[in-house]
Amino acid sequence: MNLKFKKEKFFFGISNSLLNNSWIKSNPNTRLSLHISQKYSLNSIVSNILSLKAIDINKIKIFLEPSLDCYLPDPTIFNDLKKGVDRVFTAIKNKEKIAILGDYDVDGLSSIALLKKYFNYFDIDAYSYIPDRLTEGYGPNFKAIDKLKSKKISLLIMVDCGTNAHEIISYVKKNKIDLIIIDHHKSNEKHNDILAFINPNSIFDSSGYNFLCSAGLTFIFINYLHKLIKLNDFFSKRLPDINMFLDLVALATVCDVVPLIDLNRAFVFQGLKVFSKRQNIGLKILSDENQLNKKPDEEDLGFFFGPRINAGGRIGKSNIGEKLLISKDESEAELLVKQLNTLNYQRKLIEEKVYDESIKQITIKRKLKNHSLFIFNPSWHEGVLGIVASRIKEKFKKPVIILTKNNNLYKGSGRSILGVDIGLFILQAKKKKIIENGGGHQMAAGLSIKENNLKIFEDFFENFVESNKNFTRDDKNLIIDETLSLNAINESLIENINKIAPYGLGNPKPKFLFHNVKIIKPKLVGETKKHMSFFITDETNKIVKAIFFRAADTTLGKKILTNYKKNLFSFVGFLKKSIWKNKIYFEIFIEDGVLGKDII
């Protein structure tokens, strides 16, 4: 392997690892770190990480233990939120018929569940409508509105969709239905026919909370409505503790991959506490049926709960996930979980096929020379394109758009990297009439396009990414927080590291370098045999288990299998404590590596 060596910049001289990353050692503020360590009794690793986060030293405690009291804003700073709440208050008081139309992903389903659960306390059984991904596509449509009209509703709330559906919005008004939209997809246009348009990613909103997902916004909406109902004292029964809904908000916040900063951090931190109380029957049964016998963390929300709840909307019926989230009956929940587990298994098989074919297309057509990746195939399953786009983005560290054919249009999903706003790109493509429809936010988007515009679109996408002023190659940099010996891994270290959790976009997991370790018993594991499990040991003679996800097709994975007997390796990864049969053990989750002989 040809390594460029720059001692002054690259950690251990690694400018191009086996996963094509440059290793950069973090550079903590040592004086501030020492101050933080002394003031809050934290170890040096944690205080070093905190010193890099530009947090006021007096607010470290709030960061480590974020509460809604500290982070919830005045709800009236959001455009139209007060107007929307007043309208819902009137509807509850007058027992009007309310409908909720939402997206089929976890954010949309959670937002619907939040509203339905709250309305149920007032004996209002709101009608929900979730469009079918394959036959109807994303967002509201004329057929959906006609169905809602037949239910004689007077108020419609759209969640996680609707922002750019101008024709449908006008159609709703024409049918004399009041409309409230709670969404976070980008918008630069006026909305004249909406009673209340609540969207911090709209040019009409100056709240500064454009990092929230729809479920987070929906919780703020419910919180203000709750206060209004309390103030007016018109409800005779005991009001619910709406903080018990935070498990749904946390789930959506993690699964929608919005930054885990500020209020989002508080939502997930507090939501995980609610999760552990197992009061949501559907989520409890989902855990039990799949033997998740531990307190869930943010990783479980994203990789265990999210894919299963999403599976219905991807390749089955869109409303299975919603039914599970609002279920009050264990027998019903068990049946729904079985359906979701089956669909999730099918989804994995479909996803792997589309992913493998996507990588082949990228390689054969030599697309890696581009700044962006645009691929399409009329036979791919639309339901898995978003996940495949995410995986390709992670593999190549480039913005990705992937499409398939649905009737006469190509439809699909895009995923981006930090610095390239794919939601803004889709708005520009729509404005230039290159695409038929679409919307999104900074990191993800969806669109539909005519076949004869595919080449124009590809060039427009490449030019947008190439000319983006915020676009740098820093996404190839792997920031390493500390070098550790295996002997340093213990419960105290893990507990200290976990004080900075929840981790996610905007608050990455601490990454450690394990230098010159010997690999023991590597093997491919998992249903598709694409993951790798092995043990590592170093000069301290301690043995620790390691997991490397999706290793089989990587250069690093292949090097491990062919060189582990004759070479030492150096790995970068994060640490996790696991419990199996009441025994505690530690695992290293591998994110990168090099052969030991290449270490300078």
Arithmetic mean of pLDDT, 246-270: 97
> Burial level of 213, CB count in 10 A (0-12/13-18/19+)?
buried
The per-residue pLDDT for range 518-558, each reduced to its tens digit, is 999 999 998 889 999 999 999 999 999 999 999 998 999 99
Phi and psi at residue 376, in whole multiples of 5°? -155, 155
Alpha carbon distance 361, 136 (integer Å)? 28
As a whole number, the mean pLDDT across the chain is 93
The per-residue pLDDT for range 549-588, each reduced to its tens digit, is 999 989 999 999 999 999 999 999 999 998 777 788 899 9
Sign, CA dihedral 138-141-143-147, equals positive
| pLDDT score of 521 | 96
| pLDDT score of 189 | 83
Q: Output the CA torsion 88→94→97→101 (10° steps).
A: 0
Domain with CATH 3.10.310.30 in the chain: 365-474
pLDDT band (50, 70, 90) for residue 476: confident
Arithmetic mean of pLDDT, 399-417: 95
Phi and psi at residue 552, in whole multiples of 5°? -55, -35
Alpha carbon distance 413, 403 (integer Å)? 7
Arithmetic mean of pLDDT, 198-213: 95
The per-residue pLDDT for range 17-44, each reduced to its tens digit, is 999 999 999 999 999 999 999 999 999 9
> Quick one: residue 239, left, alpha or beta (phi over 0 = left, psi -120 to 50 = alpha)?
beta
| pLDDT score of 473 | 55
HEC letters along 505-558: CCECCCCEEEEEEEEEEEEEECCCCCEEEEEEECCCCCEEEEEECCCCCCHHHH
- Check if the beta carbon of residue 429 is closer than 8 Å to that of residue 438: yes
The per-residue pLDDT for range 136-173, each reduced to its tens digit, is 988 999 999 999 999 999 999 999 999 989 999 999 99
Specify the higher pLDDT residue, 111 or 188: 111
Residue 474 reports pLDDT greater than 70: no
| pLDDT score of 233 | 82
**Percent of the chain residues topping a pLDDT of 70:** 97
**C-alpha distances in Å from residue 382, one per residue of 113, 391, 392:** 25, 15, 16
Pick the CATH number of 481-598 from 2.40.50.140, 2.130.10.10, 3.90.550.10, 2.60.40.3670: 2.40.50.140
- pTM value is 0.93
**C-alpha distances in Å from residue 44, one per residue of 32, 390, 483, 510:** 11, 34, 13, 13
Among 132-141, 336-345, 372-381, the least confident range: 132-141
> Burial level of 595, CB count in 10 A (0-12/13-18/19+)?
middle
Contact residues for 473 (Cβ-Cβ < 8 A; gap 6+): none
- Check if the beta carbon of residue 590 is closer than 8 Å to that of residue 3: no
Look up residue 152 and give its DSSP letter. Answer: T
Domain with CATH 2.40.50.140 in the chain: 481-598
| pLDDT score of 227 | 95
DSSP character string of 34-53: HHHHHHHT--HHHHHHHHTT
Residue 368: how many other CB atoms lie within 10 Å: 10
Phi and psi at residue 570, in whole multiples of 5°? -120, 130
Alpha carbon distance 465, 460 (integer Å)? 9
Residue 600 reports pLDDT greater than 70: no
Give CATH for domain 71-277: 3.90.1640.30
The per-residue pLDDT for range 416-429, each reduced to its tens digit, is 998 899 999 999 99
| pLDDT score of 235 | 76
> Burial level of 565, CB count in 10 A (0-12/13-18/19+)?
exposed
| pLDDT score of 471 | 54
Q: Output the CA torsion 102→299→499→516 (10° steps).
A: -150
Give CATH for domain 365-474: 3.10.310.30
